[in-house]
Amino acid sequence: MREDLARLRALAKDGKYQEAITRGEELLHEFPKEFELVELVAYARSENQQRERKRKLEQWIENINQGIKNGHFKDAIKAAKSGLDEFPRDPDLMLLLEGAKKQQEEKEGAPFWSNESKKSRSR
């Protein structure tokens, strides 16, 4: 058991969380009350979830940046809003949203929200 725990610790230390989870769960079937094993598997799961969350955020940021770079500001705005639904108050997403809105306004020559005010004034 000590050797198995040492291998799991090494996997987690190397960032191989999914492998540590898989092997740890196998060991949990044999040793369900081994406290250190339970803790190592919980740690690997937590780290794996954090890594996945970070990857998703980076993917949102990359997609928004690509939209801005290609001049697709409305798509970038929509993507930034969707990203903020998943990652509320993320400062990078908020900054990208504001930047995309500003560039869309410049592209249209008027504020992004001003179309509504123009319609209401012409009535």
Question: Does residue 120 fall inside a structural domain?
Answer: no
Q: Which domain holds residue 44?
A: 2-111
SS3 assignment, position 34: coil
What the block records as the tokens of 1 is 């058991």
Average pLDDT, stretch 52-81? 96
Using DSSP, state whether 27 is helix, strand or coil: helix
- Predicted model pTM: 0.71
From the number of C-beta atoms within 10 Å of its C-beta (0-12, 13-18, 19+), residue 29 rates as: exposed
- CATH number of the CATH domain containing 11: 1.25.40
C-alpha–C-alpha distance, residues 47 and 54, integer Å: 11
Residue 82 included in any domain: yes
Q: CA-CA distance, 60 to 76, in Å (whole number)?
A: 10
The Cα 65–Cα 31 span in angstroms is 48
Least confident range from 2-16, 78-92, 97-111: namely 97-111
Q: How many domains does the chain have?
A: 1
Condensed to tens digits (0 to 9), the pLDDT of residues 9-63 reads 999 999 999 999 999 999 999 999 999 999 999 999 999 999 999 999 999 999 9
